[in-house]
Chain A
Amino acid sequence: MPVRERGISCHVVGLVTLEGALHALKELPDPQAEREARLLRQLAADGEPAMGRSAS
């Protein structure tokens, strides 16, 4: 699966096409990943302007 690295993030972000849709992937420590996924999900559920559905 080809992953392109983009951006200047502290944790490197890769872009990958999954099931026809572009996804951003980011490696990071487990607790941080869970926390960030929770926040992104919450913002998306509240209709706030954040990255859409996410999963860790």
Chain B
Amino acid sequence: MTDRGCGTGGNQRLDAVLAARYLDFSLPYRTRFASRVPTDVVSRLIDAIVELVARLHLVGFFGGDCSLSNTLFRRDAAALAARLVDTETAGQHPALTEGQRAHDLDLAEEWLAGERLDLVAARTLQAELDPAAVVGEVRRRQGRLRDALTGEEVLDADDAYCIPERIRRLAVGYDVSALELVRTGGGTRLRMRTQVLEPGHHRWAQHMQTGRDVQENQARRLLNDLDAHRARLQQQTGARVSQAVAASRWLADVPEPTLATVPAHLRHTLEPAELCHRVLDHRWFLSEALGAAVGTAAPVRSSVEVVLPYIPDERHLLAAAGAGGEPLAPMPGGPAKRLLRRSAAGSPPRSAEGQRRAPPRRACQAA
């Protein structure tokens, strides 16, 4: 269409136009911070780039020149969300090697340091902020994020109950897309692959796999249990178990016997998914107290004794409140605490009931 050049003396033929829909509310940093970049924003810009690069690397995408100029920024509560807009130098691979990742980070650091120098020269950034400090900072933050997302752990076969805790440590907005236990000479290796989730992902995935329509956080919890169940099945059979088979087995092994075992007068106090979630919570407490996996049958029986009777009947709660019924009673710790101590004889809980860590609920309630 035109003969405008690109570093070739102005004689390069340009014969195509790439058109892309511009994203509402997304702005280049030069527009978003036209007059002056606040000092605290610099750190958030870098965080956004680090997050962007981490996401791209997880799916085998080499950016080539991830930088402020090749990124649009959109407000995301207190943070900034970065989006890649230029893929001239990018490449898609099945997976990135360590060398490719390191090279991409080198390029990002160089670009960011240069752009920081530009900002200082243009007096839009305070001069006392050392542009060179960004070099190394990107890699440090990227390393921390990546460790949290992709760390592999060597577990003994008996330590599989730790899987929910490992999943719990994932950063906000991420979840496990693949979880497998691989037998090695030195033990069993837990391998996790992480993906970034869109809002409502868990709810949709749970519905697709099990036909159950549940709330997002319930779905997240149940899907995590399904993943862990699949890993256990693969370990037991020594063969790959498909997601569909795993979902079917999980339904038959966990929620269905749980709901069948709970007496009718307790089963109707909570929605089925919430009831399963409470039993899974209780199972996790029991597993942690015993330092071993406890299966499903024992936690269900125990929940019927010491957990579910103390949960207010939510189906009738509003009606009861309207009729001047009793206020919500706090969850009792006493019976569960006694049971844990009894069950864990010889292997006491690591800390007092009230000080125990929260059960392995996904850490993105506010996502």
**Alpha-carbon separation in the docked complex, A6 to B31 (Å):** 10
Whether the Cβ atoms of A54 and B16 lie closer than 8 Å is: no
* CA–CA, A9 and B20, complex, Å: 15
By the criterion of a CB under 8 Å from any partner CB, how many residues of chain A are at the interface? 39
Q: Which residues of A contact B72 (CB under 8 A)?
A: 51
Whether a CB of chain A sits under 8 angstroms from the CB of B83 is yes
Q: Write the chain B residue with the least CB distance to A11.
A: B6
A9 to B88, CA, bound (A): 10
B17 near A48 (CB under 8 angstroms)? Answer: no
Given A7-B28, A29-B14, are A39 and B90 also a contact pair (CB < 8 Å)?
yes
Given contacts A10-B7, A27-B1, A39-B92, contact A48 B20 (CB under 8 A): no
What sequence of 0s and 1s flags, for each residue 38-51 of chain A, a beta carbon within 8 Å of any chain B beta carbon? 01101100111111
Q: Are A27 and B88 in contact (CB under 8 A)?
A: no
Determine the chain B residues whose CB is within 8 A of the CB of A53 once the complex forms: 20-21
Q: Is the CB of B18 within 8 A of A48?
A: no
User: Does B52 lie within 8 Å of A54, measured CB to CB?
Assistant: no
Q: Is the CB of A39 within 8 A of B87?
A: yes
Name the residue of chain A whose CB is nearest to the CB of B81.
Answer: A49
Q: Are A23 and B87 in contact (CB under 8 A)?
A: no
Are the CB atoms of A12 and B4 closer together than 8 Å?
A: yes
Check A24/B20 contact, CB under 8 A, given A47-B196, A47-B198, A49-B81: yes
Q: A7-B69, A10-B6, A46-B59 are in contact. Are A51 and B16 (CB under 8 A)?
A: no
Contact of B55 with A52 in the complex, beta carbons under 8 Å: no
B14-A9 in contact (CB<8A):
no
Distance in Å: Cβ of B112 to nearest Cβ of chain A: 15
How long is the Cα–Cα vector from A55 to B61 in the complex, in angstroms? 20
Known: A50-B83, A50-B84. A26 touches B15 (CB 8 A): no
CB-contacts of A15-49 with B (<8 A):
15, 18, 21-30, 32-34, 36-37, 39-40, 42-43, 46-49
Given contacts A34-B16, A40-B87, contact A48 B21 (CB under 8 A): no
| Cα distance A23–B30 in the bound complex, in angstroms | 18
Q: When the two chains form their complex, are residues B2 and A9 in contact, meaning their CB atoms are under 8 A apart?
A: no
Which residues of B are found within 8 Å of A15, using beta-carbon distances?
22
List, in ascending order, chain B residues with CB within 8 A of A25's CB.
17-19
Asked if A36 meets B87 with Cβ closer than 8 Å, knowing A15-B22, A56-B16, the reply is yes
The answer to whether A49 touches B92, judged by C-beta atoms less than 8 angstroms apart, is no
- Complex Cα spacing A55 to B90, Å: 17
Is B85 in the interface zone, CB < 8 Å from A? yes
A28-B18 contact, Cβ under 8 Å, with A12-B4, A46-B59, A48-B61: yes
List 10 A-B pairs, Cβ < 8 Å: A21-B22, A23-B19, A26-B17, A27-B14, A28-B6, A28-B88, A30-B16, A32-B88, A33-B18, A56-B17
- A residues with a Cβ closer than 8 A to B are 6-12, 15, 18, 21-30, 32-34, 36-37, 39-40, 42-43, 46-56
